[in-house]
Amino acid sequence: MSDDCLFCKLIRGEIPSKMVFEDDRVCAFHDINPIAPTHILVIPKKHITTIACVRPEDADLMGHLILKANQIAAEQGLKENGFRYVVNTGEDGGQSVFHMHLHILGGRKLNWPPG
Ligand code: 5GP
Ligand code: ZN
């Protein structure tokens, strides 16, 4: 946990959010500024700054996060038409909140390549 991290505050309930899933290791909530009909962020409760900072001891946590993201995407009805996972990493990667998060984007046709 990090005192001044936005997503750590959200996990602690100090910032309101629309949670769609939570367990002891991960949580998922609707993005405050959605860019697709479904836009959910899945995060580890452990404060990990970027996905590039994941350590060997986080391997199980990362597997758990992906399994839960898959479950959420299915529950949101995204499996049939497909969806996109995005993990912006660092400044050039477009990361704005430095607590790693997996974007689930779906509900419309998404363009490729990204800008
Ligand atoms: P990044 O740009 O770091 O990949 O993504 C950060 C995401 O967090 C953005 O899509 C942004 O809209 C979202 N976000 C920023 N502040 C909040 C907040 O207070 N609550 C929620 N639910 N999402 C937020
Ligand atoms: Zn954090």
**Is the CB of residue 90 below 6 angstroms from any atom belonging to ligand 1?**
no
Q: Do 83 and 106 touch, CB atoms closer than 8 A?
A: yes
DSSP state of 111: P
Point out the ligand 1 atom lying closest to the alpha carbon of residue 96: 3
Q: Which residues lie below 8 Å from residue 31, measured CB to CB, with a gap of 6+?
A: 39, 40, 41, 103
pLDDT the model gives residue 104 = 98
User: Would you say residue 114 lies in a domain?
Assistant: no
pLDDT tens by residue, 2-59: 889 999 999 999 999 999 999 999 999 999 999 999 999 999 999 999 999 999 999 9
Residue 62 lies in a domain: yes
Q: Is the pLDDT of residue 114 over 80?
A: yes
Indicate if ligand 1 lies below 6 Å from the C-beta of 29.
yes
The answer to whether position 113 is within a domain reads no
* Nearest of 40, 66, 62, 38 to residue 51 by alpha carbon: 62
Number of domains in the chain: 1
Ligand sitting nearest the alpha carbon of 46: 2
* Domain interval for residue 75: 6-106
CATH number (domain holding residue 89): 3.30.428.10
Amino acid at 101: H
Tell me the per-residue pLDDT of 50-107, one tens digit each, with 9 for 90 and over: 999 999 999 999 999 999 999 999 999 999 999 999 999 999 999 999 999 999 999 9
